[in-house]
Amino acid sequence: MAREAKKDPQDLSIEEKLKNLYQLQSMLTEIDKIKTLRGELPLEVQDLEDEIEGLTTRIERIQADMAALQEEISRRRVAIQDNNANIERYTNQLDNVRNNREYENLTKEIEYLQLDNQLNEKKIREAQAANESKQEEIRRCSDTVTERRDDLDVKKSELDEIISETRAEEEKLRERSKNLELTIEPRLLSSFKRIRKNSRNGLGIVYVQRDACGGCFNKIPPQRQLDIRMRKKIIVCEYCGRIMIDPELAGVQLQGKNVEEKPKRRRRKTAEKKDEKKAED
């Protein structure tokens, strides 16, 4: 056992490489089945967490906008106070004017300050209305966050329950698969993972079934099937790109040939009966 563990993966025969690769495929398939038991729960949990994070960020952004609006309100109120002080000062100066020009200048200054006060008051009302609207939006977002957190707690508890039931088995499979990966040369392992990732059913290596690829079910020429059974080189399906092995190496016994022969004999007998009827006629 110790010698086998130290054996370089590149020194293994093609048959041993394919056998290890198929064993790895079987373990990864079992892990996929465990993941399937969890269903859409992991995605639902992730979606809820993303939504809560997005709503929290939105609330923080609204609060920052409200702070800016409040600062603007305070600034404009200070401006109104300064304007009122100046208006009072200019009004007092009207009693001491010496000519019409000075009187007109003071009057225009007072009118300008009064108009500026009106503008500031308008902007304050708009800012206050915007603040009220944003407060209402914060309340809606906060209510939604509360609802989503309740949903998240429920989904997490369901997911944790499923994970706790399968954690030991999954960890065991993952540990075995990691150890098995060490017996496969990196280039072959990388190709296998790429094929598996691109395949819809997650199968990177399949065995021949009914003279066809076990992944895409396209027919395999007899000579290619012979090459697969010889186990002298790694052969991939020319249609789907999956690595192919013979059923015996995969530890599978197929009875497809026996099943297929029966309908062929029945068709032959039916054809003979038709020929006899034609001869009689």
Per-residue pLDDT reduced to its tens digit, 200-252: 788 888 888 888 988 888 998 888 888 888 888 888 888 888 888 888 888 77
Mean pLDDT, residues 116-139: 95
- Model-level pTM greater than 0.75? no
- Distance (Å, rounded) from C-alpha 124 to C-alpha 118? 10
Q: Which two tokens stand for residue 81?
A: 């106070």
pLDDT of residue 22 exceeding 50: yes
- The structural domains of the chain, ordered by start, are 38-180 (1.10.287.1490), 185-281 (1.10.287.1490)
Query: What pLDDT was estimated at residue 2?
Result: 41
| pLDDT on residue 95 | 84
Helix axes 14-37, 100-181, angle to 10 degrees: 130
| DSSP letter assigned to residue 246 | -
| DSSP 3-state of 78 | helix
Q: Encode pLDDT of 94-111 as tens digits.
A: 888 888 898 899 999 999
User: Using DSSP, how many helices (H) and how many strands (E) does the chain show?
Assistant: 7, 3
- Would you say 155 and 44 are in contact if contact means Cβ atoms under 8 Å apart? yes
What is the structure's pLDDT at 271?
A: 52
CB 152 within 8 A of CB 45: yes
pLDDT computed for residue 80 by the predictor:
95
Radius of gyration of the chain (CA): 41
Instruction: Put the strands of the sheet holding 235-236 in their side by side order.
Output: 205-207, 243-245, 235-236
pLDDT tens, position by position, 239-249: 888 888 888 88
